[in-house]
Amino acid sequence: MPPGTQQCFDFLRERSEMATTAVAAPSGYTGLYAFHKYWGKKPHEPIAFAIEQLTQEGQVVLDPFLGSGTAAREALLRSRAFVGFDINPVAVELSHLLIKPPSNNLLREAIKQIEHCVKEIILDSYALEDNETKATHYLWDGDTLKSVWVVNHRKRTELQPTAHDLALSASFAGYKSTRVRPPRFFTNARINAAPGLTLSDLMTGRAQRNLDLLIDAIRRCPDEVQHALNLCLTAASGQMTKMVFAVTGRGKTNGEKSSKIEVGSWVIGYWRPQLHFEVNVWNCFERRLKKLASALKAGDPLSSTLLASDISEVITGKSTAYIGRGDCRSLLKSIPDSSVHLVITDPPHSDRVPYLELSEFWNSLLGVEPDFSAEIVISNARERSKSVKSYIEAMRGFLRDVTRVIHPEGFLVVLFNSRKKKEWDIFRPWFDAPHSEDKEPLRYVGHFPCTYSAGSVVQDNRKGGLKSDHALVFDRIDKPSSNERHLSILSRIPGWSSQPPSLSTEADGK
**pLDDT digit string (tens) for 397-454?**
999 999 999 999 999 999 999 888 899 999 998 998 765 555 678 889 999 988 875 4
Instruction: Give me the amino acid identity at 155.
Output: K
Are residues 393 and 264 part of one domain?
Answer: no
Has residue 167 been placed in a domain? yes
Are residues 473 and 349 part of one domain?
Answer: yes
pLDDT score for 268:
81
Are residues 192 and 58 part of one domain?
Answer: no
- Taking the chain (510 residues) in consecutive chunks of 10 residues, what is each chunk's mean pLDDT? 44 56 81 88 91 95 96 97 97 96 95 98 98 97 97 92 98 97 96 97 98 98 96 96 89 61 88 96 97 90 93 95 96 96 94 92 96 95 94 94 94 92 91 65 90 54 66 84 76 91 55
Within 8 A by CB and 6+ apart from 93, the residues are 227, 230, 231, 366
Has residue 125 been placed in a domain? yes
Are residues 327 and 207 part of one domain?
Answer: no
C-alpha neighbours within 13 Å on the C-beta side of residue 493: 30
Has residue 183 been placed in a domain? yes
- Domain residues for the domain of 479 are 5-9+26-89+307-354+375-490
Q: Domain count of the chain?
A: 2
Are residues 233 and 289 part of one domain?
Answer: yes
Are residues 228 and 183 part of one domain?
Answer: yes
Has residue 139 been placed in a domain? yes
| DSSP notation for 42-95 | --HHHHHHHHHHH--TT-EEEESS-TTSHHHHHHHHTT-EEEEEES-HHHHHHH
Are residues 425 and 281 part of one domain?
Answer: no
Are residues 117 and 84 part of one domain?
Answer: no
Identify whether the C-beta of residue 406 lies closer than 8 Å to the C-beta of residue 343: yes
Instruction: Give me the amino acid identity at 484.
Output: E
pLDDT score for 344:
98
**pLDDT digit string (tens) for 117-149?**
999 999 999 999 999 999 999 999 999 999 999
Are residues 154 and 67 part of one domain?
Answer: no
pLDDT score for 274:
96
Could you count the other beta carbons within 10 Å of the beta carbon of residue 453?
Answer: 20
Has residue 94 been placed in a domain? no
Pick from 66, 43, 49: nearest CA to 348: 66
Has residue 98 been placed in a domain? no
Pick from 94, 69, 84, 39: nearest CA to 368: 94
Whole-angstrom distance, CA of residue 280 vs CA of residue 149 = 10
Has residue 421 been placed in a domain? yes
Could you count the other beta carbons within 10 Å of the beta carbon of residue 41?
Answer: 23
Are residues 312 and 232 part of one domain?
Answer: no
Among 266, 295, 324, the domain-final residue is 295
Has residue 175 been placed in a domain? yes
Among 295, 316, 335, the domain-final residue is 295
Q: Residue 390 is part of a domain; what is its CATH number?
A: 3.40.50.150
> Coil, helix or strand for 214?
helix
Whole-angstrom distance, CA of residue 195 vs CA of residue 381 = 10
Are residues 454 and 387 part of one domain?
Answer: yes
Are residues 126 and 269 part of one domain?
Answer: yes
pLDDT score for 239:
96
pLDDT score for 458:
45
